[in-house]
Amino acid sequence: MKKRNLDVAVISDLHLGTYGCHAKEIINYLQSISPRLLVLNGDIIDGWQFSKRYFPPSHLQVIKEIMNLLDNGTRVVYITGNHDEMLRRYSGIQLSNFQLADKLVVEINGKMTWIFHGDVFDNTTKGSAKIIAKLGGFGYDWLILCNRFINWWLKKLGRPKMSFSKKIKNSVKKAVSWIADFEQTAAELAIEKGYDYVICGHIHQPQKKLIETKNGAVTYLNSGDWIENLTSLEFANNEWTIYHYDEKEFAGANVIPMNKKIPALSVVTDEIGLFINSLQ
């Protein structure tokens, strides 16, 4: 497959180390592009659900593909998210063309572009905000469908349908307004700081839109996720586009699974273990 030359690619929310991660699709995608700059915009390795028991070879191969890009001269910036916040203490590290950061400002064709994961807008990443964050990722349509299904069952069971459905409806409303609030907050802040573009991840909702306030305008972009949407942001030919993964494009691609066993390590701390396990 011929690699597509890109100026910039932004991917986020891969959640490596969880069952929901679409590692095979990520590998296919990474093998299909040759970006000058690759931004990993947070929640790449999921440290919340990280277990040494679940980090299959395909997830390791995603990291290998990123390293292949590094070898081929792609500049890679890993911006930490909330699920990989354990890496934040190492922010600022730079090894050759790899860099770890909390946020990034990059000038692309004269446009100032502000890139960060976005969990900074959560009041708290625990409790209800976390649940709403997760609901946001599920998607509105799915929840509506789910809501209908539950109502149908409750009716069948002769139970009052209000309690459960109302709860979900409230959550849906909250999730929808939470997404809108998120986008608005990011845009307002970016306008205030005078940026032309703002790029986030975190809410698993791919987006590209112009947001205008009384103080100005900014283009808000979100790279989506690789749990459900399988999307990325690409800058080429002087414009940003949302890339949607299409299985058909990769029908011929065959991911060769790595059969290498990950050797057991007696580690000093989880963080060091995470690094060692991830990078070999």
Nearer of residues 123 and 163 to Mn ion, judged by Cβ: 123
Could you say whether residue 43 binds Mn ion (CB under 5 A)?
Answer: yes
Could you say whether residue 84 binds Mn ion (CB under 5 A)?
Answer: no
Q: Which of residues 215-254 bind Mn ion (CB under 5 A)?
A: none
Q: Which of 202, 211, 219, 240 binds Mn ion (CB under 5 A)?
A: 202
Q: Which of these ranges, 74-82, 204-212, 225-233, 258-266, lies near Mn ion under the rule CB under 5 A?
A: 74-82
Q: Which of these ranges, 35-43, 148-156, 220-228, 242-250, lies near Mn ion under the rule CB under 5 A?
A: 35-43
Could you say whether residue 15 binds Mn ion (CB under 5 A)?
Answer: no
Q: Which of 82, 219, 231, 278 binds Mn ion (CB under 5 A)?
A: 82
Task: Annotate the chain with DSSP letters as a single string.
Answer: -PPEEEEEEEE----BTSTT--HHHHHHHHHHEEEEEEEEES-SB-SSS-BTTB--HHHHHHHHHHHHHHHTT-EEEEE--STTGGGGGGTT-EETTEEEESEEEEEETTEEEEEE-SGGG-S-SSTHHHHHHHHHHH-HHHHHHHHHHHHHHHHHTT--SHHHHHHHHHHHHHHHHHHHHHHHHHHHHHHHTT-SEEEE-SS---EEEEEEETTEEEEEEE---TTTT-EEEEEETTEEEEEE--GGGGTT-------PPPPP---SSHHHHHHHHHH-
- Least distance between Mn ion and beta carbon 81 (Å): 4
- Cβ-closest position to Mn ion: 202
Nearer of residues 82 and 278 to Mn ion, judged by Cβ: 82
Q: Which of these ranges, 43-51, 67-75, 181-189, 221-229, lies near Mn ion under the rule CB under 5 A?
A: 43-51
- Least distance between Mn ion and beta carbon 119 (Å): 5
Nearer of residues 86 and 255 to Mn ion, judged by Cβ: 86
Could you say whether residue 81 binds Mn ion (CB under 5 A)?
Answer: yes
Could you say whether residue 137 binds Mn ion (CB under 5 A)?
Answer: no
- Least distance between Mn ion and beta carbon 41 (Å): 9
User: Of the candidates 117, 54, 127, 128, which has an alpha carbon nearest to the alpha carbon of residue 88?
Assistant: 117
Q: Which of residues 115-134 bind Mn ion (CB under 5 A)?
A: 119
Location of structure tokens 């058909």: 248
Cβ contact 81:201 at 8 Å: yes
Nearer of residues 65 and 119 to Mn ion, judged by Cβ: 119
- Least distance between Mn ion and beta carbon 241 (Å): 23
Nearer of residues 85 and 188 to Mn ion, judged by Cβ: 85
Cβ burial of 243 (10 Å; 0-12, 13-18, 19+) is: buried
Nearer of residues 46 and 234 to Mn ion, judged by Cβ: 46
- Binding positions for Mn ion, rule: CB under 5 A: 43, 81-82, 119, 202
